[in-house]
Amino acid sequence: MAGKILVVDDEPEIAGILERYLADEDFTVVKAYDGLAAVEKFKTERPDLVILDLKLPGLSGVDVFHRLRAHADTPIIMLTARAEEVDRVLGLELGADDYIVKPFSPREVVARVKTVLRRLERSLPAAPARVSSAEAGSAGRRLVIGRLEIDTEEHVVTVDGREVNLTPTEFRILEILVAHPGRTFTRTHLLDQAKGEDLEVFERTIDRHIANIRRKIEADPSNPRYLLTVFGVGYKMAKDPNAQSES
Q: How many residues does the chain have?
A: 247
Band (pLDDT 50/70/90 cuts) for residue 190 is: confident
Q: Which of 63-77, 166-180, 202-216 has the lowest mean pLDDT?
A: 202-216
Query: pLDDT value at position 232?
Result: 76
Query: Who has greater pLDDT, 144 or 127?
Result: 144
Question: Could you give the CA distance from residue 211 to residue 226 in angstroms, rounded to a whole number?
Answer: 12
The set of residues, in sequence order, having a beta carbon less than 8 Å from that of 220 and lying 6+ positions away, is none
Is 62 a residue whose pLDDT tops 70?
yes
Domain spanning 4-121: CATH superfamily:
Response regulator (3.40.50.2300)
Query: pLDDT value at position 90?
Result: 60
The set of residues, in sequence order, having a beta carbon less than 8 Å from that of 237 and lying 6+ positions away, is 145, 177, 178, 180, 181, 182, 183, 226, 227, 228
Is the sign of the CA dihedral 117, 120, 123, 125 positive or negative?
positive
Band (pLDDT 50/70/90 cuts) for residue 30 is: very high
Q: What is the mean pLDDT of residues 52-59?
A: 88
CB 191 within 8 A of CB 241: no
Q: What is the mean pLDDT of residues 80-86?
A: 63
CATH topology of domain 128-237: Arc Repressor Mutant, subunit A (1.10.10)
Is 135 a residue whose pLDDT tops 70?
no
Report the chain's mean pLDDT, rounded to a whole number: 80
What is the residue extent of each domain of the chain? 4-121, 128-237
Band (pLDDT 50/70/90 cuts) for residue 137 is: very low
Question: Could you give the CA distance from residue 146 to residue 149 in angstroms, rounded to a whole number?
Answer: 8
**DSSP SS3 for 4:** strand
Query: Who has greater pLDDT, 221 or 198?
Result: 221
Q: What is the mean pLDDT of residues 159-177?
A: 87
* DSSP state letter for 161: T
Picking from 105, 155, 117, 121, the residue whose alpha carbon sits closest to that of residue 27 is 117
Q: What is the mean pLDDT of residues 139-152?
A: 81
